[in-house]
Structure 1
Amino acid sequence: MKIRPILLSILIAFFITGAYAQQYDLVIVGGTPGGIMTALGAARAGKTSVILERTSHIGGLPANGLGATDIATRGATTGLFAEFIGHIRQYYVDRYGEASQQVKDCSDGFHFEPSVAEKVLEQMLAGQAAKITVLKMRQFDALDENIVLRNDRIEQITVLNRESGQPETYRGKIFADATYEGDLGAAARIPFRTGREGKEEFNEPGAGVVYKSWGGPEGAGTTFLGDNAVQSYNYRLCLTNNPANRVPVQKPAVYNRNEYTSMIDDVWTGRHTGVQMEKVTTAMLEENRKHIARGNPSQIPGDVWGIARVSNMVKLPNAKTDANNQHMAFISTDLPEENWPWPTSGWVWRDAFAQRLRSYIEGLLYFAQNDKELPEHFRKAAKEWGFSKDEYTDNGNFPRQVYVREGRRFEGIYFFTAQDATARIPGQRPVIHNSSITASHYALDSHAVRKREPGRVHLDGFLSYPSQVYTVPYGVMVPKEIDNLLLPVPVSGSHIGFSTLRMEPCWMAIGQAAGVAAALAIDRQVKVRHVPIEELQKTLIMQHATLVYFQDVKPADADFAMVQTLGLQGYLPEWKARLSDVADGETVALWEKASGKKLTFTPGQTTRREVLQQLYTRP
Structure 2
Amino acid sequence: MKRLGFIIIELIICVQILCAQSYYDLVIIGGNPGGIMAAISAAKLGQTSVILERTEYIGGLPANGLGATDIATRNATTGLFKDFVDRVYQYYVSTYGEKSSQVQLCSNGYHFEPSVATTVFQDMIAEHKDKITILTMRQFDSDPNNLIVKDNKISKIIVTNRITGDKEIYEGSVFLDATYEGDLGAAAGVPFRVGREGKDEFNEPGAGRVYKYWGGIEGEGSTFQGDNAVQAYNYRLCLTNNPKNRVLFQKPKNYNREEYASIINDVWTGRNTDKAMQSITQKMMEENKISIQKGNESKLPGDKWGIAKATNIVHLPNMKSDANNQHGVFVSTDLPEENWPWPTSSWEWRDKFAKRLREYTEGLFYFIQNDPELPDQFIQNTREWGLAKDEYTDNGNFPRQVYVREGRRFEGLYFFTAHDALPVSIGSRPPIHQQSITASHYALDSHAVRKREEGRIHLDGFLSYPTAVYTVPFGVMVPKSVDNLLLPVPVSGSHIGFSTLRMEPCWMAIGQAAGITASISIQDKVKVQNINIQKLQDYLIDQNATLIYYKDVNVSSEDFRMVQYMGLKGYLPDWEACLNDPIDKETFNAWMKLSGMNLDYTSGKVTRKDILYKIYQFLRSNE
**TM-based fold match above 0.5:** yes
Q: CA shift at 1:248, angstroms?
A: 1.0
**Cα distance, 1:12 vs structure 2:** 7.1
2:134 match: 134
Q: Structure 1 stretch 138-147 or stretch 499-508: which is displaced more?
A: 138-147
The residue that corresponds to 2:550 in the other structure is 550
State the shift of 1:424 in Å.
Answer: 1.9
Alignment match, 1:285: 285
Deviates more, 1:495-504 or 1:421-430: 421-430
Task: Summarize deviations over 1:527-548 as a string: whole Å, max 9, x none.
Answer: 0000100000011011110000
Moved more, 602-611 or 561-570: 602-611
1:454 is matched by which residue type in structure 2? E
Q: What do the CA deviations read for 1:129-164 (whole angstroms, capped 9, x no partner)?
A: 000000000000011221111111101001111111
Letter of the aligned partner of 1:93 in structure 2?
V
Residue 360 (1) aligns with residue 360 (2): yes
Contact 2:16-2:166 at 8 Å conserved across structures: no
Structure 2 distance, partners of 1:477, 1:391, is 33
Aligned equivalents of 1:358 and 1:605: distance in 2? Answer: 67
AA matched with 1:56? E
Answering whether residue 121 of structure 2 is matched by residue 115 of structure 1, we say: no
Query: How many Å apart are 1:284 and its aligned residue?
Result: 0.1
What are the equivalent positions in structure 2 for 1:169-568 lying under 5 Å apart? 169-568=169-568
Paired amino acid for 1:399 = P
Q: Which amino acid aligns with 2:96?
A: Y
SS at match of 2:25: strand
Assess if the C-alpha contact under 8 Å between 1:15 and 1:21 holds in 2.
no
- Cα distance in 2 between the residues matched to 1:14 and 1:243: 55
Amino acid at match of 1:185: G
Instruction: Determine helix, strand or coil for the equivalent of 2:175.
Output: strand
SS at match of 2:506: helix
- Calculate percent identity across the aligned residue pairs: 64
Whether the 8 Å CA contact 1:600–1:611 is kept in 2: the answer is: no
Distance in 2, Cα, partners of 1:144 & 1:435 = 31
**Aligned-partner Cα distance in 2 for 1:513–1:259:** 44
Q: Which amino acid aligns with 2:145?
A: E
1:59 aligns with 2:59: yes
Structure 2: how far apart are the matches of 1:263 and 1:313?
18
* Matched-pair contact (CA < 8 Å) for 1:156–1:170: yes
Q: What is the DSSP-based 3-state SS (H/G/I as helix, E as strand, rest coil) of the residue aligned with 1:179?
A: coil
Deviation at 1:19, TM superposition (A): 8.3
8 Å CA contact 2:17–2:169 kept in 1: the answer is no
Q: Which amino acid aligns with 1:565?
A: Y
Tell me, yes or no, if the aligned pair for 1:584 and 1:603 is still in contact at 8 Å.
yes
CA positional deviation for 1:585: 1.1
Instruction: For 1:34, give the aligned amino acid.
Output: G
Rounded Cα–Cα distance in structure 2 between residues aligned with 1:524 and 1:20: 29
Q: CA, structure 1 residues 223+407, in 2 after alignment: closer, same or farther (shift >3 Å)?
A: same
Residue by residue over 1:103-126, the C-alpha shift from the partner in whole angstroms, topping out at 9 and shown as x without a partner, is 000000000000000110011000
Instruction: Report what 2:4 is aligned to.
Output: none
Q: CA deviation at 1:165?
A: 1.0
Which region of structure 1 is more displaced relative to structure 2, 13-22 or 357-366?
A: 13-22
Distance change >3 Å, CA 304–CA 528, structure 1 → 2: same
Describe the SS at the equivalent of 1:580: coil
Q: Which residue of 1 aligns with 2:72?
A: 72
The correspondence of residues 589-600 of structure 1 with structure 2, limited to 5 A, is 589-599=589-599
Structure 1 Cα separation of the partners of residues 437 and 512 of structure 2: 9
- Mapped partners of 1:355, 1:17: distance in 2: 31
In structure 2, do the counterparts of structure 1 residues 249 and 233 end up closer, same or farther at CA, with 3 Å as the change threshold?
same
The whole-number CA distance in structure 1 between the counterparts of 2:542 and 2:176 is: 23
The aligned counterpart of 1:5 is none
Q: CA deviation at 1:15?
A: 4.7
Give the C-alpha shift of residue 13 in structure 1. 11
Structure 1 pair 419–18 and aligned structure 2 pair: CA distance change class (3 A): farther
Distance 2:183 2:312 in 1: 31
Q: Match of 1:72, SS?
A: coil
Q: Normalising to structure 1: TM-score of the pair?
A: 0.97
Distance 2:257 2:299 in 1: 27
Quick one: distance in 2 between partners of 1:504 and 1:362?
26
Amino acid at match of 2:201: E
Q: Is the CA contact (8 Å cut-off) linking 1:601 and 1:611 kept in structure 2? A: no
Q: Is the 8 A contact 2:469 2:549 kept in 1?
A: yes
Deviation at residue 600 of structure 1 after TM alignment: 5.2
Contact 1:161 1:168 in 2 (8 A): yes
Contact in 1 for aligned 2:16/2:167 (Cα 8 Å): no
CA distance in 2, matches of 1:178, 1:37: 10
- Cα distance in structure 1, aligned partners of 2:134 and 2:508: 17
Report the Cα distance in structure 1 between the residues aligned to 2:424 and 2:565, rounded to whole angstroms.
Answer: 23
Q: What is the aligned partner in structure 1 of residue 3 from structure 2? A: none
Structure 1 residues 209, 48: closer, same or farther in 2, change over 3 A? same
Indicate how the Cα distance of structure 1 residues 289 and 17 shifts in structure 2: closer, same or farther if over 3 A, else same. Answer: closer
- Alignment of 1:49 with 2:45, yes or no, is no
Query: Aligned to 1:438, what secondary structure does the other structure show?
Result: strand
Aligned-pair CA distance for 1:321: 0.5
1:19 and 1:118 map into 2 onto residues whose CA distance is 31
Residues 150-187 of structure 1: CA deviation (Å, up to 9, x unaligned): 11110100111111111111000000000000000011
Aligned-partner residue type, residue 40 of structure 1: I
**SS where residue 327 of structure 2 aligns?**
coil
Q: Describe the SS at the equivalent of 2:550.
A: coil
| 1:206–1:224 Cα contact (<8 Å) kept | yes
Query: Aligned-pair distance for 1:251?
Result: 0.9
Question: In 1, Cα distance between the equivalents of 2:542 and 2:115?
Answer: 31
Query: 1:159 aligns to what?
Result: 159
Supply the distance in 2 between the matched residues of 1:229 and 1:98 (Cα, whole angstroms).
Answer: 47
Task: Decide whether the 8 Å contact of 1:18 with 1:156 is kept in 2.
Answer: no
Contact persistence 1:102–1:317 (CA under 8 A): yes
CA deviation after TM superposition for structure 1 residue 599, in Å: 3.2
Note if 1:150 corresponds to 2:153.
no
Q: Distance in 2 between matches of 1:480 and 1:162?
A: 32
- For normalisation by structure 2, the TM-score amounts to 0.97
Paired with 1:304 and 1:415, the residues of 2 have a C-alpha distance of 38
Partner-residue secondary structure (3-state), 1:34: helix
Aligned length: 612
Residue 279 of structure 1 aligns to which amino acid in structure 2? S
- Distance across 2 between alignment mates of 1:144 and 1:501: 27
- Aligned partners of 1:265 and 1:16: how far apart in 2? 60
Deviation at 1:472, TM superposition (A): 0.4
* Corresponding letter in the other structure for 1:65: G
What does residue 5 of structure 2 align with?
none
The aligned amino acid for 2:327 is: H
For residues 174 and 584 of structure 2, the distance between their equivalents in structure 1, rounded to whole angstroms, comes to: 48
Shift of 1:253: 1.1
Q: Quote the residue 1:84 is aligned against.
A: 84
Deviation at 1:602?
2.5
* Partner amino acid, structure 2, of 1:555: V
Offset at residue 574 of structure 1 (A): 0.3
Q: Is the 8 A contact 1:252 1:362 kept in 2?
A: yes
Matching residue's letter, 1:278: Q
- Determine helix, strand or coil for the equivalent of 1:594: helix
Three-state SS of the structure 1 residue aligned to 2:176 is strand
Amino acid in the other structure paired with 2:221: G
Find the aligned partners of 1:122 and 1:482 in 2 and give their Cα distance.
Answer: 31
Q: Which runs of 4+ in 1 moved over 4 A?
A: 11-20
SS in 1 for 2:84: helix
Structure 2: where are the runs of 5+ without partners? 1-7
> Residue type matched to 1:142 in 2?
S
The two structures, once aligned, show a CA RMSD in angstroms of 1.5
SS at match of 1:513: helix
Match of 1:607 in 2: 607
